[in-house]
Structure 1
Amino acid sequence: MKNLIQIFTIGFAVKAGNALANDSQQKEHVERQRTSETKTQKLQKSSTQTDDYAWDNFNHTGAIIWACRAVKTGEFVSPKRCANKEKIDSQWPGMTTPPNFVGEIAD
Protein backbone atom coordinates (compact mmCIF):
# COMPACT_ATOMS: atom_id res chain seq x y z
CA MET A 1 0.00 0.00 0.00
CA LYS A 2 2.87 2.33 0.87
CA ASN A 3 4.41 1.74 -2.60
CA LEU A 4 1.11 2.45 -4.26
CA ILE A 5 0.81 5.77 -2.40
CA GLN A 6 4.38 6.68 -3.41
CA ILE A 7 3.68 5.85 -7.08
CA PHE A 8 0.46 7.88 -6.95
CA THR A 9 2.29 10.79 -5.28
CA ILE A 10 5.12 10.67 -7.82
CA GLY A 11 2.61 10.49 -10.71
CA PHE A 12 0.69 13.45 -9.30
CA ALA A 13 3.90 15.43 -8.83
CA VAL A 14 4.98 14.71 -12.41
CA LYS A 15 1.61 15.80 -13.78
CA ALA A 16 1.68 18.94 -11.64
CA GLY A 17 5.21 19.68 -12.79
CA ASN A 18 4.20 19.21 -16.44
CA ALA A 19 1.21 21.49 -15.93
CA LEU A 20 3.46 24.17 -14.44
CA ALA A 21 5.92 23.81 -17.30
CA ASN A 22 3.11 24.01 -19.87
CA ASP A 23 1.66 27.07 -18.10
CA SER A 24 5.08 28.74 -18.10
CA GLN A 25 5.61 27.93 -21.78
CA GLN A 26 2.17 29.28 -22.61
CA LYS A 27 2.88 32.52 -20.74
CA GLU A 28 6.20 32.89 -22.60
CA HIS A 29 4.45 32.28 -25.92
CA VAL A 30 1.75 34.88 -25.15
CA GLU A 31 4.41 37.40 -24.09
CA ARG A 32 6.43 36.81 -27.29
CA GLN A 33 3.28 37.20 -29.37
CA ARG A 34 2.29 40.41 -27.56
CA THR A 35 5.78 41.85 -28.01
CA SER A 36 5.79 40.89 -31.69
CA GLU A 37 2.38 42.50 -32.24
CA THR A 38 3.52 45.65 -30.46
CA LYS A 39 6.62 45.90 -32.69
CA THR A 40 4.50 45.34 -35.80
CA GLN A 41 1.99 47.99 -34.72
CA LYS A 42 4.80 50.48 -34.07
CA LEU A 43 6.28 49.81 -37.52
CA GLN A 44 2.90 50.20 -39.18
CA LYS A 45 2.18 53.39 -37.26
CA SER A 46 5.54 54.95 -38.12
CA SER A 47 5.13 53.87 -41.74
CA THR A 48 1.75 55.54 -42.09
CA GLN A 49 2.95 58.65 -40.31
CA THR A 50 5.85 59.14 -42.70
CA ASP A 51 3.94 58.13 -45.84
CA ASP A 52 0.70 60.05 -45.30
CA TYR A 53 1.77 62.84 -47.65
CA ALA A 54 3.98 62.96 -50.72
CA TRP A 55 5.07 65.44 -53.36
CA ASP A 56 3.55 65.32 -56.82
CA ASN A 57 5.17 67.04 -59.81
CA PHE A 58 3.01 67.72 -62.85
CA ASN A 59 2.53 70.06 -65.80
CA HIS A 60 -0.46 72.38 -65.63
CA THR A 61 -0.96 74.54 -68.76
CA GLY A 62 2.78 74.71 -69.32
CA ALA A 63 3.75 75.41 -65.71
CA ILE A 64 5.62 72.79 -63.69
CA ILE A 65 3.84 72.42 -60.36
CA TRP A 66 5.06 70.77 -57.15
CA ALA A 67 2.11 69.99 -54.91
CA CYS A 68 1.74 68.08 -51.65
CA ARG A 69 -0.97 65.40 -51.69
CA ALA A 70 -2.47 62.92 -49.25
CA VAL A 71 -1.26 59.48 -50.29
CA LYS A 72 -4.46 57.60 -49.44
CA THR A 73 -6.90 60.00 -51.11
CA GLY A 74 -4.80 61.97 -53.61
CA GLU A 75 -6.30 65.15 -52.16
CA PHE A 76 -4.18 68.29 -52.40
CA VAL A 77 -3.05 69.54 -48.99
CA SER A 78 -0.94 72.34 -47.59
CA PRO A 79 2.72 72.20 -48.67
CA LYS A 80 3.57 72.39 -44.96
CA ARG A 81 2.63 68.71 -44.68
CA CYS A 82 5.45 67.81 -47.09
CA ALA A 83 7.94 70.38 -45.79
CA ASN A 84 10.26 67.75 -44.31
CA LYS A 85 10.19 65.54 -47.41
CA GLU A 86 12.52 65.62 -50.37
CA LYS A 87 10.79 66.68 -53.58
CA ILE A 88 10.69 63.33 -55.33
CA ASP A 89 7.66 62.39 -57.41
CA SER A 90 7.56 58.64 -56.84
CA GLN A 91 3.95 58.30 -55.64
CA TRP A 92 2.29 59.68 -58.78
CA PRO A 93 4.85 59.39 -61.59
CA GLY A 94 4.30 61.21 -64.85
CA MET A 95 3.57 64.84 -65.67
CA THR A 96 -0.18 64.57 -66.29
CA THR A 97 -2.26 67.07 -64.33
CA PRO A 98 -4.34 65.23 -61.71
CA PRO A 99 -8.08 65.39 -62.44
CA ASN A 100 -8.83 66.91 -59.03
CA PHE A 101 -6.44 69.86 -59.51
CA VAL A 102 -8.45 73.09 -59.74
CA GLY A 103 -5.62 75.50 -60.53
CA GLU A 104 -4.62 76.56 -57.04
CA ILE A 105 -3.24 74.88 -53.95
CA ALA A 106 -4.43 75.75 -50.46
CA ASP A 107 -1.80 76.79 -47.95
Structure 2
Amino acid sequence: MCYKNSDCNMGYSVGSIDWRWDGIVPKINGSVVNRANSDYSTTVYFEAYYIDQKVDTDSRTVADGVRNFDLTFNVALISRIKITVCQNFSTGQQCGSPENYSYG
Protein backbone atom coordinates (compact mmCIF):
# COMPACT_ATOMS: atom_id res chain seq x y z
CA MET A 1 0.00 0.00 0.00
CA CYS A 2 1.36 3.38 -0.92
CA TYR A 3 -1.33 5.99 -1.26
CA LYS A 4 -1.08 9.77 -1.15
CA ASN A 5 -4.39 11.55 -0.99
CA SER A 6 -4.17 14.14 -3.76
CA ASP A 7 -7.37 15.82 -2.56
CA CYS A 8 -5.86 16.45 0.89
CA ASN A 9 -2.59 18.34 0.50
CA MET A 10 -0.78 17.31 3.66
CA GLY A 11 -2.43 14.08 4.81
CA TYR A 12 -1.40 10.67 3.50
CA SER A 13 -0.66 7.08 4.40
CA VAL A 14 2.11 4.72 3.27
CA GLY A 15 2.77 1.11 4.10
CA SER A 16 2.53 -2.49 2.97
CA ILE A 17 0.08 -5.38 3.02
CA ASP A 18 1.41 -8.85 3.82
CA TRP A 19 -1.18 -11.23 2.34
CA ARG A 20 0.74 -14.22 3.70
CA TRP A 21 -0.34 -17.45 2.03
CA ASP A 22 -3.86 -17.86 0.60
CA GLY A 23 -5.23 -14.50 1.84
CA ILE A 24 -5.86 -15.57 5.42
CA VAL A 25 -5.56 -12.68 7.89
CA PRO A 26 -3.39 -10.17 6.01
CA LYS A 27 -1.22 -7.87 8.10
CA ILE A 28 -0.94 -4.16 7.30
CA ASN A 29 1.88 -1.97 8.58
CA GLY A 30 2.80 1.58 7.79
CA SER A 31 2.10 5.11 8.91
CA VAL A 32 -0.44 7.88 8.59
CA VAL A 33 0.98 11.40 8.29
CA ASN A 34 -0.53 14.80 9.02
CA ARG A 35 1.10 18.20 8.58
CA ALA A 36 2.75 19.36 11.80
CA ASN A 37 1.17 22.25 13.69
CA SER A 38 -2.05 22.11 11.69
CA ASP A 39 -5.59 22.65 12.96
CA TYR A 40 -6.89 19.36 11.48
CA SER A 41 -6.13 15.64 11.66
CA THR A 42 -5.76 12.86 9.10
CA THR A 43 -7.44 9.44 9.26
CA VAL A 44 -6.74 6.34 7.18
CA TYR A 45 -9.69 3.92 6.94
CA PHE A 46 -9.30 0.21 6.19
CA GLU A 47 -12.26 -1.87 4.99
CA ALA A 48 -11.80 -5.62 4.58
CA TYR A 49 -13.95 -7.60 2.13
CA TYR A 50 -14.46 -11.25 1.34
CA ILE A 51 -15.66 -11.33 -2.25
CA ASP A 52 -18.23 -8.46 -2.15
CA GLN A 53 -19.15 -8.59 1.55
CA LYS A 54 -17.56 -6.17 4.03
CA VAL A 55 -16.25 -8.30 6.91
CA ASP A 56 -14.23 -5.88 9.08
CA THR A 57 -13.10 -2.25 9.41
CA ASP A 58 -10.40 -0.35 11.25
CA SER A 59 -8.83 3.12 11.19
CA ARG A 60 -5.87 5.12 12.46
CA THR A 61 -5.79 8.90 13.08
CA VAL A 62 -2.95 11.35 13.69
CA ALA A 63 -3.38 15.00 14.66
CA ASP A 64 0.20 16.24 14.35
CA GLY A 65 3.08 14.45 12.65
CA VAL A 66 3.33 10.69 12.08
CA ARG A 67 1.57 7.69 13.62
CA ASN A 68 2.95 4.24 12.83
CA PHE A 69 0.63 1.24 12.82
CA ASP A 70 0.56 -2.55 12.62
CA LEU A 71 -2.89 -4.00 12.19
CA THR A 72 -4.43 -7.38 11.58
CA PHE A 73 -8.13 -7.86 10.91
CA ASN A 74 -10.22 -10.12 13.16
CA VAL A 75 -11.62 -12.31 10.38
CA ALA A 76 -10.25 -15.42 8.70
CA LEU A 77 -10.70 -14.74 4.98
CA ILE A 78 -10.10 -11.44 3.21
CA SER A 79 -9.93 -11.06 -0.56
CA ARG A 80 -9.80 -7.25 -0.85
CA ILE A 81 -8.88 -4.24 1.30
CA LYS A 82 -10.21 -0.76 0.55
CA ILE A 83 -8.14 2.12 1.92
CA THR A 84 -9.35 5.72 2.14
CA VAL A 85 -7.45 8.74 3.51
CA CYS A 86 -9.45 11.66 4.95
CA GLN A 87 -8.65 14.96 6.56
CA ASN A 88 -10.81 16.00 9.49
CA PHE A 89 -11.56 19.72 9.67
CA SER A 90 -13.76 21.57 12.15
CA THR A 91 -16.18 22.10 9.25
CA GLY A 92 -16.29 18.42 8.27
CA GLN A 93 -14.31 15.65 6.64
CA GLN A 94 -12.68 15.66 3.19
CA CYS A 95 -11.70 12.30 1.69
CA GLY A 96 -9.69 11.30 -1.33
CA SER A 97 -10.60 8.54 -3.75
CA PRO A 98 -10.35 5.08 -2.16
CA GLU A 99 -7.74 2.58 -3.32
CA ASN A 100 -8.51 -1.16 -3.50
CA TYR A 101 -5.93 -3.91 -3.02
CA SER A 102 -6.75 -7.55 -3.76
CA TYR A 103 -5.12 -10.85 -2.87
CA GLY A 104 -3.44 -12.59 -5.76
Q: Which has the higher strand share?
A: 2
Work out whether the TM-score is over 0.5: no
TM-score (norm 2): 0.21
More helix by share: 1
Taking CA–CA contacts closer than 8 Å with sequence separation of 6 or more, which of the two structures ends up with the larger relative contact order?
2
Tell me the TM-score normalised to structure 1 length: 0.21
